[in-house]
Amino acid sequence: MLSRNLCTALRRLRITPARFCTSVAAPDQGNSGCDPLYAGIRATQFVTKPALITPEDYAPIPVYRVIDSDGNVLDSTQEPNLSKETLQKCFRDMVTVNALDKIMYESQRQGRISFYMTNFGEEASHIGSASALSSEDLVWAQYREAGVLLWRGWTLSQFIDQLYGNCDDEGRGKQMPCHYGSKKLNFVTISSTLATQIPQAVGSAYVLKRKPDNDRVVVVYFGDGAASEGDFHAALNFAATLECPVIFFVRNNGYAISTPVREQYRGDGIASRGTGYGMAVLRVDGTDMLAVHNGTKMAREYCLKNNKPIILESMQYRLSHHSTSDDSSAYRPTEELEMWNTTENPINKLKNYMLKKGWFNEDEENEFIKSIRKQIMAQNQLSEKKQKPDWREMFYDVYDDLPLNLRKQLKEMEDHVARHKEQYPLKNFKS
């Protein structure tokens, strides 16, 4: 039996006292009543012969999917039974993101905006997850989640005004293009710095956890490249030990800019790291909108019921260049794109599913695509002509009350511009 002092010490460490003896028996010699008492590991046993555990000893995490490439439901019990109206919104939001990408990418190539990042091939992960979340759930995005904002109600004018950084941009022209944000829609403004949003999301989830009767979760999106940053590991450890209701939504799309996943890690994707931190994990087919929807719904329910984090890994493929600053033809063959752009294309898959249900009208959807393209092009011209924000905006929104040193700088700048106004394109800026 354990001594009274040792039992007391173990209880203070929140360790349940186990059986104790002074001898150790090999596994094939029967149960000797000996259990390790070390803190920080799960219940286990002593052995008398060392045995290496290699990655091959673990079964790979399966990929959950609902439909195949032709839109056939693989297991009828897994069909989410979304209404016709909901599925139509899902499809139309996906093609809207696609159309926005095509037009704004070309606008950047024409020199009309400075930068752009497309979402080709990853639309299902946006809409599938957004449709399963509550609009009150807090989103920390990376930079390839435009569909989440679209689902929540951000308008084409808000997207394109932000890309131009004009006077109607909610960010007042202070962010790079594609760095969206909406307090009203619970979508935290995107930061360029890779992976910083991951630990910040955990902090947000910890705040929610401490609220009585909390019914919200935090979802943080990031790519496989961000999972190679130290912030990712710190965030997982915080979330696991503090037991925070946060979904770590990993877009594993094959590349971190130009670095393929085979050069990033040797483990079983990103989800496998969750078990090492004591977290639940789930892996879904990120080209299957229904699988992403079901997986996100399950992850959200798990977080709220258990007040714990989960890693949701969405397996997909980045069809586009990383950004307009990248040329992916330099590091991957065009043949690699063919399958992902045809049979495994998420928009095609959802269309096939809707066709089999008799809920897809080819003529109506073609008209919708034509209409949305016209709307985007018209808004593009309108947003481009708008004035830039008042240049004084650069001094605001960091401090609630402008400190003395910034007030002095602002006054100096105003005096300078007044003296040399012919040297500045003031007519292009709102005043």
Tens-binned pLDDT, residue by residue, of the chain (431 aa): 445 554 455 455 444 444 333 333 444 444 445 677 788 888 888 999 999 999 999 999 999 999 999 999 999 999 999 999 999 999 999 999 999 999 999 999 999 999 999 999 999 999 999 999 999 999 999 999 999 999 999 999 999 999 999 999 999 999 999 999 999 999 999 999 999 999 999 999 999 999 999 999 999 999 999 999 999 999 999 999 999 999 999 999 999 999 989 999 999 999 999 999 999 999 999 999 999 999 999 999 999 999 999 999 999 999 999 999 999 989 998 888 888 998 899 999 999 999 999 999 999 999 999 999 999 999 999 999 999 999 999 999 999 999 999 999 999 999 999 999 999 999 999 98
Q: Which domain holds residue 228?
A: 76-385
Tell me which DSSP letter residue 429 carries. B
Whether residues 149 and 90 fall in one domain: yes
Does 27 share its domain with 160?
Answer: no
Which candidate in 106, 301, 338, 414 is catalytic?
106
Q: Are 341 and 276 in contact (CB under 8 A)?
A: no
Catalytic entry in 243, 323, 328, 365: 323
Residues 176 and 99 in one domain: yes
Element (H or E) spanning 89, and its range?
A: helix 84-109
**Are 218 and 351 in the same domain?**
yes
Shared domain check, 111 and 248: yes
Domain membership of residue 177 (yes or no) is yes
Tell me if 166 sits within 8 A of 429, measured CB to CB: no
Cβ neighbours, 10 Å, residue 191: 18
- Are 276 and 403 found together in one domain? no
CATH number for the domain harbouring residue 344 = 3.40.50.970
Q: What is the pLDDT of residue 5?
A: 56
Active site residue 362: no
Q: Which of 333, 334, 337 is nearest to 317 (CA)?
A: 337
Looking at the structure, do residues 332 and 222 belong to the same domain, yes or no?
yes
Residues 125 and 43 in one domain: no
CA distance 105 to 121: 15
Determine the residue type at 379: Q
Catalytic-role residue among 157, 192, 325, 371: 192
Q: How far is CA 269 from CA 68, 231, 251, in A?
A: 22, 18, 11
Instruction: State whether 302 and 397 are in the same domain.
Output: no
DSSP string, 153-208: T--HHHHHHHHHT-TT-TTTT-S-TT---BTTTTEEPP-SSTTTHHHHHHHHHHHH
107, 322, 344, 383: the catalytic one is: 322
Q: Are residues 399 and 376 in the same domain?
A: no
Q: Is the Cβ–Cβ distance between 386 and 168 less than 8 Å?
A: yes
Reading the block at residue 396, the tokens are 């605001």
Total structural domains within the chain: 3
Q: Which pLDDT score, from 0 to 100, does residue 336 have?
A: 87
Q: Is residue 70 part of a domain?
A: no
380 lies in a domain? yes
68 within a domain of the structure (yes/no): no
pLDDT at 204: 98
**Is 165 inside a domain boundary?**
yes
Instruction: Report if residue 344 sits inside a domain.
Output: yes
Active site residue 83: no
Whether residue 63 lies inside any domain: the answer is no
Respond yes or no: is residue 233 known to be catalytic: no
- List strands edge to edge, sheet with 187-188: 187-188, 138-140, 218-223, 246-252, 310-315, 280-285
Residues 151 and 282 in one domain: yes
Q: State whether 412 and 318 are in the same domain.
A: no
What gap in Å lies between CA 152 and CA 141, rounded to an integer?
14
CA–CA gap between residue 65 and residue 349 (Å, rounded): 12
β-strand pairing of 280-285 with 259-260: unpaired
Let me know if residue 56 belongs to a domain. no
